Structure 1
Amino acid sequence: MQAQALQEAIHALRARQFARAEQIAVSILRTAKADRPALLVFAHALLGQQRASEAVAPLEKAVLRGSDPELETLLGAALCESRRAADGIAQLRKTAARRPPFLPAFQELAGRLAQSGQLGEAIAVIEEALTLSPDNVDLALDLARLCLRANDRVRARTHLLAARDAAAGRPDILIELAQVQFLDGDYAEAAGSYRHALGLRPEDTQTRAHLAMCLAEMGDRDGAQAALRTVVRGRPHLLSRAAYIMAVTSHGRFFFRPSAAAKFLGADGTLKP
């Protein structure tokens, strides 16, 4: 019964039903106070409900029972979310210093440092993690994102190209690469990357909208408008986004009335698929 309840809690957590996940985890912990999986679900559920401070004490007790880098990393995150950033970052540094390395601790630490504006330190943390796990694609992607935030597009592109070559079926990598290519004015390359990503995830409307921007900047007005019509088809709430894209691109269109944009893009039902 306890195993079944735990599976229900995990399922609720993955579905972002945080209150339900918390309720089930609490029922397990009443009879098994040291149940590690239930504690993990409980703490994640509290963080998901912006109640991180309530997770700190049980996590601290669990960490005292023995070395557990996953619990320690979660404790660091809970401390940071509880407005105890200094304590949280200190905990994450301690966990990241452990060997063998627990890579999520590096990622959490880098994320918290970046949030506090310490981009240089955040980049150094991920670089250290990559020396310990040089073939880790997720770390390469993290580093590229941090470099992009630091406006170092050359390094960001280098890491993204390496990540793409190592994991060609990852649309998230292709989308990040396309963003760098677009910012560098390489619109044809960016369009190619967006198309590749859409081939893997055809229903991604945001990526299709970005593709439309690339096509518009390349002077392919018809292609851009076709992409935007696909974006708004059946999704009238995205009309303002599509109209904005048409207005800001160098080869786009501007409409004074939303109804005119809706008619042009077929969001009013006048155009058929």
Structure 2
Amino acid sequence: MALRARQFAQAEQIAASILKSNRTDRNAALLLAHALMGQDRGGEAIASLERIARRGDDGEVETLLGALLCGAGRAADGIAQLRRTVARRPPYFPSFQELAGQLVKIGQRSDAIGIVESGLALAPDNVDLKLSLGRLFHENGELAKALNILTSARNSAPGRPDVVNELGRILILHGDYTAAADAFRQVLAQYPDDRSVRAHLATCLLEQGERNAGEAALRSVTRGQPQLLGRAAFVMAASSHGRFFFDRSAAAKFLGVESS
């Protein structure tokens, strides 16, 4: 409950008190790690997680340990740990995603793609792995592959907003603004206050020639958030049916933003 309430210091105290009486309490070690991570002190949890990991195969503990090792500047140790976890059977699939993410950080995106693909070979219907692979293809400029795998993920889990949102972004790059707009509307039906998604919807509307609707969407993006003026102005300027302002104050006035 303390973790869910983001009361990380309290969660740390509770978990630490349990570990004092039982240094190998798995759940307490995991709770302590998450509490410390919430305070940007994740490295302090490495020792307790290592004790748990030595007791036997535990994909969740090992994956978190690998992530914390990487975060503590021990990338080689962390990646080695994650590779061992990925090789275990039965597989713990979040470890594939964590390893892929760490490989991307050190510039090994192709290897990251291979890791996620190997996970999908074991679980072809795993939506989380499909989403991760779609994002990696997107980042790698392989848009056709990204569209294919994300469409498959959407078909498997049509109600997942993270999948639909990522698919919408790829559809924009493919120039399918109608389908992209539909995707972003689905996401906004669940998260109406997500301004990034609304900005993407505005892009689609402007590209479809629905200027009034697109500009109204951008006003929603900047309402009460003047720091987003630049994002909104860029969307207008980049659109083939948008507007360009030479003066920041003119753009602010048009969008109804109070700008100092």
2:106 aligned with 1:123, yes or no?
no
Normalising by structure 2, we get a TM-score of 0.91
1:55 corresponds to: 45
Between the aligned partners of 1:66 and 1:60, the Cα distance in structure 2 is 11
Of the three residues 106, 110, 115, the one matched with 2:100 is 110
2:138 aligned with 1:148, yes or no?
yes
Deviations 1:161-183 (A, max 9, x none): 01111111111111111111111
Between the aligned partners of 1:147 and 1:14, the Cα distance in structure 2 is 33
2:251 aligned with 1:261, yes or no?
yes
Of the three residues 25, 31, 41, the one matched with 1:35 is 25
1:207 corresponds to: 197
Between the aligned partners of 1:252 and 1:266, the Cα distance in structure 2 is 17
1:93 corresponds to: 83
Deviations 1:130-183 (A, max 9, x none): 121111111111111111111111111001101111111111111111111111
Q: Show structure 2 runs of 5+ residues with no match.
A: none
2:25 aligned with 1:25, yes or no?
no
Q: Show structure 1 runs of 5+ residues with no match.
A: 1-10, 269-273
Q: Report which stretch shifted further, 81-90 or 155-164.
A: 81-90
Note the C-alpha offset of 1:94. Answer: 0.8
Conserved 8 A contact 2:223-2:256: yes
Between the aligned partners of 2:10 and 2:227, the Cα distance in structure 1 is 30
Of the three residues 215, 218, 224, the one matched with 1:228 is 218
* One-letter amino acid matched to 2:38: G
2:72 aligned with 1:72, yes or no?
no
Conserved 8 A contact 1:169-1:200: no
1:187 corresponds to: 177
User: How many positions carry a matched residue from both structures?
Assistant: 258
* One-letter amino acid matched to 2:33: A
Between the aligned partners of 2:72 and 2:256, the Cα distance in structure 1 is 48
Between the aligned partners of 2:21 and 2:194, the Cα distance in structure 1 is 44
Note the C-alpha offset of 1:257. Answer: 4.0
2:3 corresponds to: 13
Note the C-alpha offset of 1:101. Answer: 0.8
Deviations 1:96-148 (A, max 9, x none): 11111111111111111111111111111111111211111111111111111
1:6 corresponds to: none
SS at match of 2:3: helix
